[in-house]
Amino acid sequence: MFEKIGVRIKVMKENERNEVSEQIKDIGKRTEDAIVEGEPVFLGEVERVWIGGMVERNGIDITKIEGPTNLSQQVDGLIGAMGLDRTKQMVSGLISKMLESRETESVSKFVDELFSKSKDGEVRFSTEEYQGWKKKAVQRMEAIVASANKLLWIIGAGDAEEATRRQGTEGIKKHLRERVLRGKELEGQKIDPSIPRWKAKDPKQNKLRVLHSGEMAMILETLVGM
């Protein structure tokens, strides 16, 4: 009898997880669509608060995220919010999903290598010394770190007004909006030229690792512990 009750509880929890996962995917898609449409607010207040509650229950201290635009500072913010091991697990897990790699152990070891190669406390995102999947992994890592940091910064806003303000900052324009827009362009989607875009003052600094369709949801799912 008790075994049957245990099975029912397990199934119920699995059903709940599936439902939450579908909701997160829907929010991710709507967020991407709002960015493509040039909406000033792409993460609505109801969704922001709901996700924020789950992020905190997942043990992430969003007060540690300060929203800097420097990539190494963004890494530090994530480590402060969730710890080094969990940050590496998040990054390696997302890289494996995004690259559709079954070699999760190899990806995990490579992420450990990237973190251990940090100089003066800064993790480097250079792809010059890598080829093949490792080069792609570094590119995905940059997009993951920057996007996760900025999403947590918005989620951690004290109220709706501050959340709206943060979604209109230059850092968000570069690290979230522009990554999504460039990803859509690579997929063949035309972007309204009237939408404000981020562009580096120095053309040599204009490279940016993109977010492809669906990757916003992948990051959100990981942050809430799915």
Q: What is the mean pLDDT of residues 114-141?
A: 77
Contacts within 8 Å (CB) and 24+ apart, 103-110: 107/137, 110/134, 110/137
* pLDDT range class, residue 7, cuts 50, 70, 90: very low
pLDDT in tens, 170-204: 999 999 999 999 999 999 999 999 999 998 888 87
pLDDT more than 70, % of the chain: 89
pTM equals: 0.89
Q: What are phi and psi of 122, to 5 degrees?
A: -110, 130
- pLDDT at residue 113 greater than cutoff 90: no
Q: Give residue 210's pLDDT.
A: 94
Helix then strand then coil, % of the chain, to nearest 5: 65, 0, 30
**According to the model, what pLDDT value does residue 184 have?**
97
**What is the spatial distance between Cα 82 and Cα 71, in angstroms, rounded to a whole number?**
17
**pLDDT higher than 60, residue 11:** no
Between 73 and 149, where is the model more confident?
149
The per-residue pLDDT for range 12-21, each reduced to its tens digit, is 477 788 888 8
**Is the separation of the CB atoms in 60 and 82 below 8 Å?**
yes
- pLDDT tens-place string over residues 80-112: 999 999 999 999 999 999 998 888 899 999 998
**Sign, CA torsion 105/133/150/53:** negative
